[in-house]
């Protein structure tokens, strides 16, 4: 997955920024773990000519919930 | 003409049959090479090291927490521990390059095993791909554990058993010799991603799941075997060499330091499965409100503000 044309924002809540020129490439891998639960591993490559010296590479993983009962997004906040 | 058509159709059927039955050979992805550690993720883990008492997000049970709080870093001053290997779980958070190569059957050309190279403190892990079974549960537990692999599509799935008791986190958390590990390895061009699913019926109440990534880098400093280790004191020499450094239950003077430094609720700092999930925040919502520390008392160096003194640890002393 390739993402461009984003508005400037923050990588982290502590103020580390990204610019409008940031480019993100993602690889999504889906697995079924030994308990039968589905998990997604997301590998990200992020390039930002304004705020990053080199490509930032990292991974995240998510566990699939059986239903949406825990889906409860909250308003964003830039305060601690 | 009819004979020619029958011959051609027969050839196509044979060709298709060959392609379909040889699927597993084509399904294997070449994982070999030197994969450089991508620093950033787990930076705290393998730079300064995790704080004593920081068990956040780790699904330890009460026994796991008790063992973690009994830990004294003075254990690293014992000569017999200075060359002690970590278990294969360390690959998911360790700070080293990963050297991967295969062993091939000289007759059939099939890959018999994948190997993940050693580090100075981790043994070579051989992942058997020839379908051999895992040994008896009573068999010897080597530092490498015993690992077998299968391909599921383009993912190498590794199952590791016979793991030795070892460090789960460098701040004192341990895993038992009954722990098992399932790893999912995927190659995306010059990236190698790994999901580690770690289970321990003794010290964990839920699986501990981590993802890690490496980038192909032939110049990464990596060897396949572990160099000889010479015990060296990296911390103060033990005054009393007749004891194993430890803290009795409730006696660890540093147990609450992490929560205190960052004004965190102790319940969160002490970990457990509930601290892995976002809904844990709701539990704390009405009882905890974050208040930033009045002044920086730790890791305060390199501040552009001249009023902030350089304090590298929790001692409060300028260094």
The whole-angstrom distance between A13's CA and the closest CA on chain B is 14
Mutate to test the interface with B, among A15, A36, A41 (most CBs of B within 10 A): A41
DSSP-based three-state secondary structure for B127: strand
Per-residue pLDDT tens listing for chain B (319 residues): 444 455 455 555 544 444 444 444 445 799 999 999 886 677 667 666 788 899 999 999 999 999 999 999 888 888 888 888 999 999 988 888 999 999 999 999 999 999 999 988 889 999 999 999 999 999 999 999 999 999 999 999 999 999 999 999 989 999 999 999 999 999 999 999 999 999 999 999 999 999 999 999 988 878 899 888 888 877 777 888 888 899 999 999 999 988 988 888 999 999 999 999 988 988 888 778 877 777 776 777 766 666 666 766 656 566 5
B interface with A, Cβ–Cβ below 8 Å: 38, 40-41, 155, 182, 184, 186, 188, 191, 193, 195, 197, 199, 207, 209-213, 215, 278-279, 290, 292
Locus of tokens 């490559």: A45
| Tokens coding A15 | 């103020």
DSSP-based three-state secondary structure for B7: helix
A26-50 burial code (b ≥16 CB/10 A, e <16):
ebebebebeeeeebebbbbbbebee
Q: What is the pLDDT of residue B38?
A: 85
Q: Which of B188, B194, B185 is nearest to B152 (CA)?
A: B185
- Measure CB to CB from residue B193 to each of A33, A56, A59 and give the nearest one: A59
Sequence-ordered list of residues with C-beta below 8 angstroms from that of B308, at least 6 positions apart, any chain:
B295, B296, B300
Question: What is the DSSP code (8-state) at residue B298?
Answer: S
Collect all residues of chain A within an 8 Å Cβ-Cβ radius of residue B264.
Answer: none
Strand B98-104 to B111-116 pairing: antiparallel
Locus of tokens 């993940």: B116
DSSP-based three-state secondary structure for B210: strand
d(CA B52, CA A31): 33
Q: Which of B36, B96, B94, B39 is nearest to B217 (CA)?
A: B36
d(CA B143, CA B208): 20
DSSP-based three-state secondary structure for B238: coil
C-alpha R_g of chain A: 16
Nearest chain B alpha carbon to A63: B209
Give me the numbers of helices (H) and strands (E) for chain B, helices first please.
Answer: 7, 12
d(CA B291, CA B300): 18
Inter-chain residue contact A59 with B184, CB threshold 8 Å: no
- Measure CB to CB from residue A43 to each of B209, B213, B279 and give the nearest one: B213
d(CA A39, CA A37): 6
Per-residue pLDDT tens listing for chain A (80 residues): 999 999 999 988 878 899 999 999 999 999 999 999 999 999 999 999 999 999 999 999 999 999 999 888 888 776 65
Sequence-ordered list of residues with C-beta below 8 angstroms from that of B207, at least 6 positions apart, any chain:
A33, A35, B59, B197, B198, B199
How many contacts, defined by CB atoms under 8 Å, are there between A and B? Answer: 61
| Tokens coding B98 | 């990963």
Q: What is the pLDDT of residue B37?
A: 86
DSSP-based three-state secondary structure for A1: coil
Give me the numbers of helices (H) and strands (E) for chain A, helices first please.
Answer: 0, 6
């Amino acid at each position: 997955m390739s993402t461009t044309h984003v508005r400037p924002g923050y990588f982290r809540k502590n103020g580390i920024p990204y610019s409008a020129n940031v480019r993100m490439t993602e690889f999504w891998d889906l697995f079924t773990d030994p308990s039968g639960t589905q998990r997604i591993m997301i590998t990200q490559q992020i390039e930002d000519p304004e705020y990053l010296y080199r490509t930032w590479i990292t991974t995240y993983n998510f566990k699939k919930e059986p239903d949406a009962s825990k889906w409860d997004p909250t308003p964003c906040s830039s305060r601690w | 003409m009819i004979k020619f058509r029958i011959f051609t159709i027969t050839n196509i059927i044979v060709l298709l049959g060959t392609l379909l039955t040889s699927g597993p050979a084509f399904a294997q992805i070449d994982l070999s090479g030197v994969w450089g550690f991508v620093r950033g993720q787990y930076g705290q883990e393998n730079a300064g090291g995790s704080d004593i008492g920081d068990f956040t997000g780790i699904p330890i049970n009460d026994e796991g927490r008790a063992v973690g709080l009994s830990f004294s870093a003075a254990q690293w001053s014992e000569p017999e521990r200075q060359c002690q290997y970590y278990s294969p779980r360390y690959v998911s958070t360790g700070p080293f390059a990963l050297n991967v190569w295969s062993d091939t059957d000289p007759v059939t050309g099939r890959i018999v095993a994948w190997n993940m190279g050693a580090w100075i403190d981790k043994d070579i892990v051989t992942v058997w791909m020839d379908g051999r079974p895992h040994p008896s549960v009573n068999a010897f537990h080597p530092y490498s554990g015993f690992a077998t692999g299968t391909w599921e599509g383009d993912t190498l799935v590794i199952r590791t058993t016979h793991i030795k008791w070892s460090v789960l986190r460098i701040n004192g958390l341990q895993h038992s010799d009954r722990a098992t590990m399932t790893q999912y390895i995927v190659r995306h061009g010059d990236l190698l991603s790994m999901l580690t699913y770690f289970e321990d019926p003794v010290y964990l109440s839920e699986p501990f799941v981590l993802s890690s990534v490496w980038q192909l880098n032939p110049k990464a400093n990596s060897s396949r075997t572990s160099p000889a280790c010479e015990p060296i004191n990296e911390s103060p020499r033990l005054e009393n060499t007749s004891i194993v450094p430890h803290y009795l239950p409730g006696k660890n003077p540093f147990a609450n330091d992490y929560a205190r430094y960052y004004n965190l609720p102790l319940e969160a700092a002490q970990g457990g499965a509930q601290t892995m999930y976002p809904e844990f925040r709701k539990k704390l919502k009405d009882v905890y409100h974050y208040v930033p520390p009045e002044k920086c008392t730790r890791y305060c160096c390199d501040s552009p503000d001249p009023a902030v003194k350089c304090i590298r640890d929790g001692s409060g002393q300028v260094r």
